[in-house]
Amino acid sequence: MTGRPLIKLPQLAGRTEPEIFFDALALNAADLNADGEAEHLLEPFSAALAAALEARHDDLTRHGQLLPGAAEAVTAVAKLEGTIATVLTGSSRPNAVLKLSSFGLENFVDFEIGGYGSEAYPKGTLLRVAKERASSKHGVSFGDDATVYIADSARDVDAARIGGARSLAVASGRATAAELRDAGADAVLPDLTDTAGLTALIVRLTAPSS
C-alpha cells in the first residue's frame, strides 16, 4: 500500500485492523499521518486485506486450527435462553465472516449487530456500538450486567470495562490466566474445553444483582 517493505510487525493481540495498520506505518518509517495520507490509505488497505484473505481461503481451512472446545462452546452459548451471540473483533466484517465460516461457526452468531475493526473505533467504544445495535434490533436493553465479552487479552478486558460488559477471559491467546486476572477479568478459564463451566459462568455473570 505504501511502496515500502513490511519489516517490523506491531503488537497484534486485542487490537483492531486500523490500529495495527497505523502502527505498522510508523514502525516501518512510513508514517503518513502528517499530511493525512494515512487516513486515505486505510480504506484501500482494508479492501486489499479482505481480498488477500479470501484468496487464501483454502489455506485457512487447510492449515488453520479450531481451538479445542470452540465449536461446542459456540453451540452451547447459542442455545442459552435469552442469549444473543455476536462478535466483537479487530477484524473487518468480511474477514470475521470468512474466518468463522471456514470452520462452520457462522450460523451461531448474529453478524448484523457485531462490532468490527474496520469501523475504526477503539474496542471499548465498539462494544457500546454493538450493544446499541443489539438493543435496536431486538428491542431489549443490554446493560453492563446483561452483556458478557469473552476475550483472550488484557486489552479486551479493558474494552469490556470501558464498553459496559462483564469480561470472561480465556487464556487461549498470548496472555496467561494470571495476566488476565491481574487485568481485572470478572472470570478466567484456561481454555474452552469445559463447555458446562463456560455456560455456567455466563449465567452467573449475567444474573441480576441481589
pLDDT per position as a tens digit, 59-90: 888 898 889 999 999 999 999 999 999 999 88
Region of residue 139 (phi > 0: left; psi between -120 and 50: alpha; otherwise: beta): left
* Residue 12 forms part of a structural domain: no
Q: How many structural domains compose the chain? A: 2
Q: How confident is the model at residue 200 (pLDDT cuts 50, 70, 90)?
A: very high
* Residue 74 forms part of a structural domain: yes
Q: Judge if 51 and 99 occupy the same domain.
A: no
pTM for the predicted model, two decimal places: 0.81
| Residue 75 cell numbers, joined | 453451540
| Domain C-terminal end among 61, 77, 93 | 61
Cα 210–chain centre separation: 31
Q: Judge if 108 and 22 occupy the same domain.
A: no
pLDDT per position as a tens digit, 167-187: 999 999 889 999 999 999 999
* Residue 117 forms part of a structural domain: yes
* Residue 151 forms part of a structural domain: yes
Neighbours of 56 (CB within 10 A): 14
* Residue 11 forms part of a structural domain: no
| Residue 206 cell numbers, joined | 449475567
